[in-house]
Amino acid sequence: MPRIELFGESDPVLAWDGTAIYGDEAALAGEPPPARLEGSAAAAQPLASGQVRLFRDRLGLGKLFWAKNAGGDLAFASQPLKLVRAGYDLGDIAAAPRGRVITLDADGSLASVSALKPAGPTPAVSASVAQIGAHIREALDAYLAAVATAYPDRRAYLCLSGGLDSSTIAVLARRHFSALTAVSFDIADAGRAPSADRLAAERLCADLGVPMIEANVTTEELISYLDTVLVAGIDWRDFNVHCGLVNAAIADAIAQSSSEGDPPPIVITGDLPNELLVDYQPEVYKGATYYGLPRVDVAKLRSVLVDGLDTCHREVGVFGAFGLSVAQPYAACVDAYLSLPASLLAEQDRKDHLVTNIVGSELPAYIYERPKLRAQIGDTHDKGTLAACIDRGIDGSWLRGRFSALHGVGEERALDRFIRAGRYQTAMPTGTTTTEEDQ
């Protein structure tokens, strides 16, 4: 009879059902995920009946991969590399479909499938930006309160760039967490002045009364995280790798600041609004264009970016590599963001417009007035992770080759199937393939 094998630990689970947190403890105890769920959640749970329950959150923030051998045995793991080490080829590894709870019988046959639902109500179609902003505020506060209640003994670290998204979370989180520390990333090679992000983060922390630690790395130290990011981030595409490098540096700083024996800290991030509000653009460095985007209308582009969250693990995976669980407050209000009117997406200052309706003047004016910066780019085009990589010959082709080498891929064409059109190869573990209609 075919068997089901689980390789390694599941991703850290930190999800929310609209009221309470569904976390690692519940997932490891075999408790089923709530039918309504937001945030990172993916696991394969062996059940007393001999069955195995699989689940992934609706956005696909938590990862779960599988492969089948010639004997029909099914193998599951949170990272493709764990399956590669178990003898499977990357080209034969697929992601389990997101947004599903799947139960397999002991022989791997499909017993049941159900769809996860949004954790809370979605704003009405006709809701105004002000109403949706209020809805988002309510969800963010409820989510942060639930995390603080679930983990009263764990120190919370907030990744703070000083931009609108993370600063909004800083304003809200300080009210919920008695032991909140902000973490500010910077490349700190000799002779370089602090970045504009660092200065903004310092000023905001001082104004909010939140302590801040510095995640300072030299360029060489930043590059040293590449293999960790490629494996734990499950992606070779430059944009995601460059984001993952920043997260690795932050994660390392948090891990080093924690004392041995302390409960594992919680990392709070301000990610997701860039996808939800289509706040990305291609970047030019030394005459070449990076981070290209498909030439489609803004509504389609948002759909592509949000779908793409299913593919790449630059947040949960990279922090998880340092033993850290990630709380992503904006995951608690994804449907509210997706209900924003199309006219807002067309606005140049759409993020300012929305944030004004979420936290208003609780966020200092100097945060609203800052130009948007990316840690990948830096503030002078010679300080970000993009430049750090490109100047060392670490371009898209190099990353692709290194990812292949780390995963034992002989022919890189296997990568084209593993991620195509911004999505992992995805299939139901029984061998039947899921479709978008099923989602």
Partner 1 sequence: MNTSNIALKLESFTRKSFQIADDDPDFSRSVHLFEEGYVDSIGVIEMLTFITETFGVQIPDDALQSDGFATIDGMAQVIAELMAPADAKAAVTAS
Tell me how many residues contact partner 1 (CB under 8 A).
Answer: 24
Interface characters, 296-335, with partner 1 (x: CB under 8 A)? x---x---x-------------------------------
Q: Considering beta carbons, is residue 134 or 301 the nearer one to partner 1?
A: 301
Evaluated on CA atoms 172, 175, 178, 184, the torsion sign reads: positive
Contact window for partner 1 (CB under 8 A) among 322-330, 336-344, 357-365, 410-418: 410-418
Shortest Å distance, C-beta 265 to partner 1 = 35
Report if residue 234 touches partner 1, rule: CB under 8 A: no
Binding partner 1 by CB under 8 A: which of 286, 372, 381, 413? 413
Among 63, 237, 302, 383, binds partner 1 (CB under 8 A): 237
Burial of 37: CB neighbours in 10 Å, binned 0-12, 13-18, 19+: buried
Distance CA 6, CA 139 (A): 35
Pick the closer one to partner 1 by CB: 214 or 279: 279
Binding flag, residue 410, partner 1 (CB under 8 A): no
Cα–Cα distances in angstroms (integers) from residue 242 to residues 227, 249, 278, 373, in the given order:
12, 11, 18, 14
CA gap 244, 376 in Å, rounded: 10
- Nearest alpha carbon to residue 108 among 439, 432, 402: 432
The residue from 294, 341, 360, 410 that contacts partner 1 (CB under 8 A) is 294
Close Cβ partners of 193 (under 8 Å, ≥ 6 residues apart): none
Span near partner 1 by CB under 8 A; candidates 32-40, 129-137, 145-153, 420-428: 420-428
* Contact predicate 151/186, CB 8 Å: no
User: Given candidates 293, 298, 342, 346, which one binds partner 1 under the rule CB under 8 A?
Assistant: 293
**427 touching partner 1, by CB under 8 A:** yes
Query: Is residue 434 involved in binding partner 1 (CB under 8 A)?
Result: yes
- Is residue 3 at the binding interface for partner 1, with CB under 8 A as the rule? no
* Beta carbons of 360 and 366 less than 8 angstroms apart: no
CA distance 11 to 272: 19
Residues facing residue 178 across a β-bridge: none
Chain positions contacting partner 1, by CB under 8 A: 237, 292-296, 300, 304, 413, 416-417, 419-423, 425-427, 433-437
